């Protein structure tokens, strides 16, 4: 069914905007994207905002000059000015020009709904419309030589995305069918935003906005463009962009800079729009952070990682405790920002989001984006009512109910093809893992809420999506676009390989990387090598890196050989080696996941290891190679083969609440202290069993009460 998607930016003309939307929506057979208050155009006189823009396969580009009252003024001059400005913008895109002619037709309409006698006031060749004659005027426009590619490129130019999505370095391709050629075509295909992404960028709400989606659904690009759009709209606002993975800093800076230059003709004012770490530390602007700034301004004691760990506990508890302590010590927090945008919110405790909220001026414009699945547990972030609490009357401080603009779900995955994404889910959840003898299921973890599967773009192919029920889930062409997988055979998109030992694994990897660069036309920064364990990454990746250096192939270990904020090296070609945590938020055409046997095992910590495997696989824009050796690798390959046999569908029985609870206990992650305690208790239990077996003690020697408890808990009879 043909329809127009409306994206509502700010143009200062609310009445005319609403009536134009109603009038366009009522026209049969008209489809496309309509933006209000967009795009922005850089002119010698400064920024210029278009009241409304329609990009349509049937009509081409139609610009609207909106009039709120009964006075149209010199509307013909306004139309000429608007046409000249937009034509100049579009002609910068060579693919939209033939000779000196702009290929997509460009028309202007002045829409004045408060005027009845528009025909009497209209000048020849300068359309003047209200709701009654708009359809008639539009019927005279047509785009004869329209095609999907032309439409997409036109939309991309209007959205200002062409230059924004430029690669980190120029891609030289001699063979169109090489991996480099396929990657170039793939990158060119992802040249426009879908409607949900457009709305998330342009539509600004007063208050809190949540953006949810899978890895690869465009959250980081949307957040960067939104920050840049707000900065061009409101240059005096103080805006912060913050995140968990430090290597995202360069990516945000590049995206925001490109968008501002394209939209306003000027580089951003980096004193007004700040890209800052979440934690931060003393040492100038580059080391600043949201939490550190809060402490600095309020005079609070600042905790670095070591002091926070000593006081509040290790891991996530350190930053959580530091944020809570800072908030509770200040009765009236300083309102330092007009807007704060948080990426990777699933990696922060709610206390950090509350800290950001406290630092905002009314109406508290906080935008936070998170991956529903980056932690796979489905419990990565509580609802906003729980995060931000209640007021003195017991009402939630923040609620997203009733306004779809406040809660945006990005269902489409633009990074991972269907086979890559479903592989990541199948192994992340353990869908096809063998059931251990003492368990009803091989599943490692599962969402508490079954409906979440549909939220992230799966549909039920068979069965019923409910606890205790058998279900078969599949991706759709809508949520996993076909072009992401059509460039290569499926057997080339995802490959699992087992080797006799680590030495042979490493030798194969070195040869593959050499081939990727010398024959496949991949650039160095098209390749990421990911190791599962951050503690041993340097040591285990060392021999591979050394062999590449000896071949003259430059490489680096992200965050170790580089500044913590750097993931890809741009000044010299270099292959990125990384531990899993630094890889988050980044992507590449070819991803190698090494020593993958470490992702399989049993019991404690398995959920955490499978989350790492999920994250590693979803870094891939095109191809992924999961390699390893030993029994753990055999098990992973078996799981992958079962998935392939089912044509990349997820076929399983949804666990009941009782099974879910047991899974969380069995596969939970333990703190170092808990691990030590568990090991001590297991040792004690083993010694007791051995002593009983050897007859050094008998069951009668045990306290009667303890003996009965043991028999009961171990499931025995009398």
At 235 the pLDDT is 92
Q: Residue length, the chain?
A: 718
Rounded CA separation 708/702 (Å): 10
What's the rounded mean pLDDT across residues 236-253? 90
Most confident stretch, 28-32, 39-43, 496-500, 663-667: 496-500
Q: What is the CA radius of gyration of the chain?
A: 29
Burial 179-205 (b: 16+ CB within 10 A, else e): bbbbbbebbebbbbbbebbbbbbbbbe
Most confident stretch, 164-178, 192-206, 215-229: 215-229
Nearest to 60 by CA among 136, 153, 129, 196: 153
Higher pLDDT, 283 or 515: 515
DSSP-derived 3-state class of residue 528 = strand
C-alpha torsion 174→179→181→186, nearest 10: -170
Rounded CA separation 649/665 (Å): 27
End-to-end CA distance of the chain: 69
Query: Does residue 289 register a pLDDT over 80?
Result: yes
What's the rounded mean pLDDT across residues 246-261? 87
Topology of domain 4-167+182-189, CATH: Trna Endonuclease; Chain: A, domain 1 (3.40.1350)
CB contact at 8 A, 663 and 443 = yes
Higher pLDDT, 286 or 494: 494
Higher pLDDT, 262 or 282: 282
Render 63-95 in DSSP notation, one character per residue.
EEEE--SS---SHHHHHHHHHHHHHHHHTTSGG
pLDDT in tens, 294-343: 999 999 999 999 999 999 998 788 999 999 999 999 999 999 999 999 99
DSSP-derived 3-state class of residue 194 = coil
- Helical pair 316-328 and 290-298, crossing angle rounded to 10 deg: 30
Per domain, the residue ranges of the chain are: 4-167+182-189, 204-410, 418-663, 674-713
What's the rounded mean pLDDT across residues 279-294? 93
At 511 the pLDDT is 98
Question: For 110-119, 651-660, 682-691, which range has the lowest pLDDT when averaged over its residues?
Answer: 682-691
Rounded CA separation 63/61 (Å): 7
Q: What is the CATH number of domain 204-410?
A: 3.40.50
At 328 the pLDDT is 95
Rounded CA separation 600/700 (Å): 41
Per-residue pLDDT band at 678 (split at 50, 70, 90): very low
Per-residue pLDDT band at 350 (split at 50, 70, 90): very high
CB contact at 8 A, 374 and 344 = yes
Strand partners, 239: 273, 339
DSSP-derived 3-state class of residue 288 = coil
At 382 the pLDDT is 86
Question: For 237-241, 339-343, 435-439, 576-580, which range has the lowest pLDDT when averaged over its residues?
Answer: 435-439
What's the rounded mean pLDDT across residues 161-180? 73
Helix then strand count (H, E) for the chain reads: 26, 25
At 359 the pLDDT is 98
Query: Does residue 66 register a pLDDT over 70?
Result: yes
pLDDT in tens, 72-122: 999 999 999 999 999 998 998 888 999 999 999 999 999 999 999 999 999
Higher pLDDT, 171 or 490: 490
Paired sense of beta strands 52-56 and 60-66, if any = antiparallel
* Tokens representing residue 583 in the block: 């890889």
At 430 the pLDDT is 94
Domains 4-167+182-189 and 204-410 share a fold: no
* Tokens representing residue 640 in the block: 């992958």
Query: Does residue 162 register a pLDDT over 70?
Result: no
Neighbours of 669 (CB within 10 A): 15
At 297 the pLDDT is 96
What's the rounded mean pLDDT across residues 613-619? 92
Write down the mean pLDDT value for the chain.
88
Q: What is the DSSP letter of 407?
A: E
Domain 418-663 classified CATH 2.30.30.30? no
Question: For 75-84, 245-254, 453-462, which range has the lowest pLDDT when averaged over its residues?
Answer: 245-254
Q: Alpha carbon of 158 to those of 238, 374, 451: distances in Å?
A: 27, 32, 36
CB contact at 8 A, 613 and 428 = yes
What's the rounded mean pLDDT across residues 655-682? 64
pTM for this predicted structure = 0.77
Per-residue pLDDT band at 713 (split at 50, 70, 90): low
CB contact at 8 A, 530 and 616 = yes
Render 389-416 in DSSP notation, one character per residue.
-B-TTS-BS---TT-GGGEEEE---SSS
C-alpha torsion 156→161→162→165, nearest 10: -140
Strand partners, 396: 390
At 672 the pLDDT is 45
At 1 the pLDDT is 47
Rounded CA separation 556/322 (Å): 33
* Tokens representing residue 511 in the block: 């040869």
Sign of the Cα pseudo-torsion (215, 221, 224, 226, in order)? negative
Rounded CA separation 242/273 (Å): 11
Most confident stretch, 184-198, 277-291, 381-395, 502-516: 502-516
Query: Does residue 694 register a pLDDT over 60?
Result: yes
Per-residue pLDDT band at 160 (split at 50, 70, 90): confident
What's the rounded mean pLDDT across residues 642-652? 98
What's the rounded mean pLDDT across residues 120-134? 95
At 680 the pLDDT is 56
DSSP-derived 3-state class of residue 644 = helix
Burial 364-375 (b: 16+ CB within 10 A, else e): bbbbbbbbbbbb
Query: Does residue 394 register a pLDDT over 60?
Result: yes
Strand partners, 36: 8, 52
At 474 the pLDDT is 97
Question: For 32-46, 80-94, 283-297, 693-707, which range has the lowest pLDDT when averaged over its residues?
Answer: 693-707
Contacts 24+ apart (CB under 8 A), 162-169: 162/93, 162/191, 163/258, 163/261, 163/262, 164/221, 164/225, 164/255, 164/258, 164/259, 164/262, 165/190, 165/191, 165/221, 166/258, 168/254, 168/525, 168/568, 168/570, 169/523, 169/525, 169/570, 169/573
pLDDT in tens, 582-612: 888 789 999 999 999 877 766 557 888 888 8
Per-residue pLDDT band at 638 (split at 50, 70, 90): very high
Rounded CA separation 501/495 (Å): 18
Rounded CA separation 92/457 (Å): 36
Query: Does residue 675 register a pLDDT over 50?
Result: no
Rounded CA separation 37/48 (Å): 10
Half-sphere exposure of 717 (CA within 13 A, CB side): 0
Site of tokens 């098209």? 526
């Amino acid at each position: 069914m043909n329809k127009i998607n409306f994206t509502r930016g700010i143009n200062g003309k609310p009445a005319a905007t609403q009536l134009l939307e109603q009038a366009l929506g009522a026209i049969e057979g008209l489809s496309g994207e309509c933006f209000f208050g967009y795009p922005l155009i850089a002119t010698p006189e400064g920024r210029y905002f278009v009241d409304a823009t329609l990009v349509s396969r049937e009509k081409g580009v139609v610009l609207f000059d909106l009039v709120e009252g009964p006075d149209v003024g010199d509307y013909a001059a306004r139309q000429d000015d608007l046409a000249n400005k937009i034509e100049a913008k579009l002609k910068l895109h060579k693919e939209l020009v033939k000779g000196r002619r702009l290929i997509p037709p460009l028309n202007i309409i002045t829409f004045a709904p408060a005027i009845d006698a528009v025909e009497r006031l209209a000048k020849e060749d300068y359309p003047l419309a209200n709701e009654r004659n708009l359809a008639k005027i539009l019927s005279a426009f047509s785009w004869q030589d329209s095609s999907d590619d032309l439409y997409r490129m036109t939309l991309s130019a209007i959205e200002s995305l062409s230059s924004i999505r430029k690669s980190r370095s120029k891609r030289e391709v001699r063979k169109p069918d090489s991996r480099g050629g396929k990657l170039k075509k793939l990158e060119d295909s992802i040249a426009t935003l879908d409607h949900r992404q457009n709305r998330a960028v342009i539509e600004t709400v007063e208050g809190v906005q949540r953006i949810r989606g899978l890895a690869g659904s465009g959250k980081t690009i949307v957040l960067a463009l939104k920050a840049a759009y707000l900065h061009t709209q409101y240059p005096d606002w103080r805006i912060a962009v913050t995140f968990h993975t430090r290597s995202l800093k360069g990516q945000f800076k590049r995206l925001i800079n490109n968008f501002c230059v394209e939209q306003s003709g000027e580089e951003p004012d980096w004193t007004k729009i700040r890209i800052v770490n979440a934690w931060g530390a003393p040492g100038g602007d580059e080391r600043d952070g949201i939490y550190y700034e809060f402490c600095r301004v309020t005079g609070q004691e600042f905790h670095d990682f070591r002091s926070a760990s000593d006081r509040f506990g290790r891991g996530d508890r350190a930053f959580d405790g530091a944020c809570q302590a800072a908030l509770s010590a200040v009765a009236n927090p300083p309102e330092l920002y007009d807007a704060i945008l948080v990426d990777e919110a699933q990696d922060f405790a709610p206390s950090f989001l509350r800290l950001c909220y406290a630092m905002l001026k009314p109406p508290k414009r906080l935008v936070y984006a998170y991956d529903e699945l980056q932690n796979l547990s489905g419990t990565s972030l509580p609802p906003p009512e729980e995060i931000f609490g209640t007021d003195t009357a017991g009402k939630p401080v923040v609620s997203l109910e009733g306004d779809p603009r406040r809660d945006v779900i990005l269902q489409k995955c633009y990074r991972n093809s269907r086979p890559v994404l479903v592989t990541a889910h199948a192994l992340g959840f353990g869908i096809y893992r063998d059931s251990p003898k003492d368990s009803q299921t091989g599943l490692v973890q599962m969402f508490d809420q079954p409906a979440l599967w549909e939220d992230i773009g799966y549909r039920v192919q068979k069965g019923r999506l409910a606890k205790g029920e058998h279900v078969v889930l599949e991706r759709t062409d809508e949520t996993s676009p076909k072009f992401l997988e059509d460039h290569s055979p499926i057997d080339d998109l995802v490959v699992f390989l087992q080797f006799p030992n680590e030495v042979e694994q490493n030798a194969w990897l070195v040869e593959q990387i050499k081939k990727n660069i010398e024959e496949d036309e991949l650039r160095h920064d098209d390749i990421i090598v990911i190791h599962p364990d951050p503690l041993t990454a340097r040591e285990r990746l060392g021999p591979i890196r050394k062999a590449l250096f000896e071949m003259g192939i430059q490489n680096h270990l992200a965050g170790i050989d580089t500044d913590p904020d750097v993931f890809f090296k741009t000044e010299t070609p270099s292959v990125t080696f990384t531990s899993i945590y630094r890889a988050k938020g980044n992507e590449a055409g070819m991803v190698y996941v090494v020593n993958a046997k470490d992702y399989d095992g049993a019991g404690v910590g398995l959920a955490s290891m499978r989350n790492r495997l999920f994250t590693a696989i979803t870094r891939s824009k095109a191809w992924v190679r999961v390699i390893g050796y030993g029994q753990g690798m055999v098990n992973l390959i078996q799981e992958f083969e079962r998935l392939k046999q089912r044509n990349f569908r997820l076929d399983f029985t949804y666990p009941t609440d009782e099974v879910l609870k047991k899974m969380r206990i069995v596969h939970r992650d333990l703190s170092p202290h808990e691990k030590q305690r568990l090991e001590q208790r297991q040792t004690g239990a083993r010694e007791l069993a051995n002593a009983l077996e050897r007859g050094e003690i008998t069951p009668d020697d045990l306290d009667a009460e303890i003996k009965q408890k043991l028999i009961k808990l171990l499931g025995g009879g009398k």
